[in-house]
Structure 1
Amino acid sequence: MSDRTEPTERDGTGTGAAARGERGSGERVAALRPVYQADLAAGVDRFFEPRRADCPWCGSDRLTTRLRTTDLLQHKPGRFVLDRCEGCGHIFQNPRLGAAGLEFYYRDFYDGLGEKKLGDTFGGRTGMYRGRAESMLPHDAAPKTWLDVGTGHGHFCEVAKEVLPGTVFDGLDFTDGVELAAREGRVEHGYRGAFPDLASELTARYDVVSMFHYLEHSTDPDRELRAAREAVRPGGHLLVEVPDPESRYARLLGRWWLPWLQPQHLHLVPVANLRERLADLGFTVVAEQHAEPHDPVDLLAAVWLALDHAAPPEDAPWLPERPSAPRRALRAALFLAGVPALIAATLLDRFAVRPLSHRLGVSNAYRIVARRD
């Protein structure tokens, strides 16, 4: 998953600069609108592969529909279905997006129009990144080499260097963000491409390979785990963090649970399944964490997504035309009215739920540290 950023103008402040930014954004949207409208002219069905009748994790044909939803973040056209395997509990997008669909729905999320917003979000998560690096200390207090798969712009590696100053951090990603991370010195070396395709040249090179909220985006999680086994040296460690589909919030909040993140999240793996698959690949799980990787944003995100869904949409190139001034004013008014609910949700997330997240069974992620035997 990429966490790309872009340079920003620094030649003005105040309302003048804001107005110029709004005009610039509007011009970019207008320039992209013909491209998106051409993409959508043939409909969105072509973006999906045929629906599969069996579980991609265990092969069982006992499938039930877990969730039907839309794109609640970008509001691009399309409907998405998550199926659950009654045999092993694996949840997966079905029908799954194909290559053209993944390109369409990822476009302007981490890069392009969404680049600065997502970059600012990822760049400001220092505490979370530090916690991820510290989770390795009980198992290897001084790894020499570390590969972060799905590194984006390398913000985790930049923070992790403070925790592990003697460690050399490399990054891997399929976007050009990893090249920027190398130029900025956040990673020593940046590999651009698909991890399974690059694994053979990384054989047994790393003391630690990390995958933070990466596996759920992959089209074939098993292939990614096999690539990790190849890159980790014997005695080294694999560090995986993913959304927890068994969180009670997944059921309580329904489609408003942020970690469903449709249409990007293709696979949501129960922790027992991941432990079993790692054992099959020759790993021993040495730590399993639920409270530590929990990100206290579930209620806030649910309120935000509901407000955003109810409000008229922001201007975007996948809309046929720009929303009118009255509709833009209505959107602003609705979010202003929702401020008390957003504040209340934030307080509940951080101060009421977070200390009890694991005990209540609402942790939205889990983290596994596994040693390659």
Structure 2
Amino acid sequence: MDAARAAAYREDLAAGTDRFLEPRRADCPWCGSDRLTVRVRVPDLLQGKPGRFTLERCGECRHVFQNPRLSLEGLEFYYRDFYDGRGGEGTGVVFGTQGAAYRGRAEMLLPHADPASWLDVGTGHGHFCNAAREVWPRTRFDGLDMGDGVREAERRGWVESGYLGQFPEFASKLAGQYEVVSMYHYLEHTREPLAELDAAAAVLAPGGFLAIELPDPESRMARFIGPLWLPWFQPQHQHLMPAANLREALADRGFTVVAEEHGPAHQGNDFFGAVALAATRLSPDPDRPWGPGPTPRARLLAHAVRVVALPCFAAAVALDTVRSAAARRTDGGNAYRMLARKDVP
């Protein structure tokens, strides 16, 4: 265990976790309705950090959102060591295996555009941009992200220019500069998704395209798997938007939806993710620097859970294979993609 990292976490936790959550709101951030019900309540199943989180669902527009949501301090605490730092290498490996998904996203533009410039918002380490060049070799790809990975993407040459920070902060600086803006599994992480759509509208040139991919909270698997459904992704996911809500929000901002995909956007990890989250819940990593510290008992339990989980993982892979085939055949997956054109005034 990294002693310095563990000491920093102990200092953070000594002040308590109440400051990591804002006060609960009484209305839906999407439509303003007060018809709210609890959709799911879970601990941090991703890293096993302290805390418990609630997603509520609006009875009017069906929007699902974290309530109470993370504060800015909470965002820093729960994102730390996931995409960068201690967890960065593992996350990079996962992103590096998504080549087929990256290609599918890039190919969605083929019937509609031949872009010279493309900004990928929430680009991480730039894996999508690097893969998308096989489809669009003459396109300039830039990336924007809140994490330091965007600097690494720039150093690798996977993006031409990397912007570090919040997307709305760059809206005026980048106004009208891009023919395509993409947000792949990004919008659900943001505190104010409607402000992010406003920023995209500002950054796009007239006639440009906005490409979005999101988890689908209307997915049947969300109901079937319940709290262990991976796309709930607590505490990182702040908002999960039904496709109808996104279509309406885009129309309000002067966009016309030209393509929508559900089955092709499906991510084949429903059952595998559920097993992984259950295993983490039963036996968190004993070496996690925010934990109480490794003990022989904790190491023995972790080993036992890994052994018992192996056949469960194998079964999960088989079930996900069957589920993925069905999702793509029926166009009913756990995620959706939307492509919208910014109308010319």
TM-score (norm 2): 0.97
How many angstroms apart in 2 are the aligned matches of 1:308 and 1:52? Answer: 30
Residue 371 (1) aligns with residue 341 (2)? yes
State the match for 1:342 in structure 2: 313
For 2:73, the equivalent position in structure 1 comes to 100
1:35 aligned onto 2:35: no
Correspondence for 1:191: 163
1:233-252 aligned at under 5 Å gives the runs: 233-252=205-224
Matched, 1:213 2:189: no
**Equivalent residues in 2 for 1:192-341, closer than 5 Å:** 192-311=164-283, 313-322=285-294, 324-341=295-312
Query: In the comparison of the two structures, how many residue pairs are matched?
Result: 343
CA distance in 1, matches of 2:56, 2:16: 23
Deviations 1:197-233 (A, max 9, x none): 1011111111110000000000000000000001111
CA distance in 1, matches of 2:304, 2:35: 46
Q: What is the distance in 1 between the residues matched to 2:198 and 2:141? A: 21
SS at match of 2:324: helix
Aligned counterpart, 2:88: 115
Q: For residue 32 of structure 2, what is the aligned residue in structure 1?
A: 59
The 1:253–1:46 alpha-carbon spacing in structure 2 relative to 1, beyond 3 Å, is same
Residues 1:133 and 2:106 are matched in the alignment: yes
CA contact (8 A) 2:261 2:331 kept: no
Q: Aligned partners of 1:245, 1:364: CA distance in 2, in Å?
A: 8
Q: Residues 80 and 93 of structure 1 are in contact (CA less than 8 Å); yes or no, is this contact kept in structure 2?
A: yes
Paired residues of 1:247 and 1:361 also in contact (CA < 8 A): no
Query: How far 1:359 sits from its partner (Å)?
Result: 5.9
Unaligned runs of 5+ in 2: none
Q: Which residue type is aligned with residue 200 of structure 1?
A: S
Counterpart amino acid of residue 32 in structure 1: R
Paired residues of 1:216 and 1:268 also in contact (CA < 8 A): yes
Contact kept, 8 Å, 1:248 with 1:361, in 2: the verdict is no
Residue type at the aligned position of 1:284? T
- The code of the aligned residue for 1:192 comes to L
Shift of 1:57: 0.4
Mapped partners of 2:265, 2:160: distance in 1: 26
What fraction of aligned residue pairs are identical, expressed as a percent? 57
Please state if 1:173 is matched with 2:155: no
Aligned residue number for residue 324 of structure 2? 354
Instruction: State the Cα distance separating 1:177 from its structure 2 match.
Output: 1.3
Give the conservation status (yes or no) of the 8 Å contact 1:244–1:365: yes
For 2:293 and 2:154, how far apart are their aligned partners in 1? Answer: 39
Residues 152 and 175, structure 1, Cα contact 8 Å, conserved in 2: yes
One-letter amino acid matched to 2:169 = D
Q: Kindly state the Cα deviation for residue 321 of structure 1 after the two structures are TM-superposed.
A: 2.2
Partner of 1:17: none
The corresponding residue for 2:46 is 73
Shift in alpha-carbon separation, 1:143–1:73, aligned structure 2, 3 A? same
Q: Which residue of 2 aligns with 1:15?
A: none
Q: Cα deviation per residue 1:122-161 (whole Å; 9 max; x = unaligned)?
A: 1222111111111111111x21110000111111000101
Structure 2 contact 286–293 (Cα < 8 Å) conserved: no
Q: Secondary structure at the match of 2:74?
A: helix
Kept in 2, the 8 Å contact 1:312–1:328? The answer is: no
* Paired letter, 2:228: W
Report which stretch shifted further, 127-136 or 329-338.
Answer: 329-338
Question: For residues 159 and 40 of structure 2, what CA distance do their matches in structure 1 show?
Answer: 38
Per-residue deviation, 1:358: 5.2
Shift of 1:167: 0.6
Q: CA offsets per residue over residues 21-59 of structure 1, 9 Å max, x none?
A: xxxxx2x2x321221111111211111111100110011
TM-score by length of structure 1 reads 0.89
Q: CA deviation at 1:360?
A: 6.1
Per the alignment, in what secondary structure is the counterpart of residue 163 of structure 1?
coil
- Deviation of the 1:312 alpha carbon: 5.2
Q: Which letter does structure 1 place at the counterpart of 2:104?
A: G
Deviates most, 334-343 or 282-291? 334-343
Instruction: Please list every run of at least 4 consecutive aligned residues from structure 1 whose deviation after the TM superposition is greater than 2 angstroms.
Output: 311-314, 358-362
Distance 1:60 1:358, change over 3 A: farther
Structure 2 distance, partners of 1:334, 1:34, is 28
Question: CA separation in 1, counterparts of 2:276 and 2:200?
Answer: 36
Check whether the contact 2:122–2:143 (CA below 8 A) recurs between aligned residues: yes
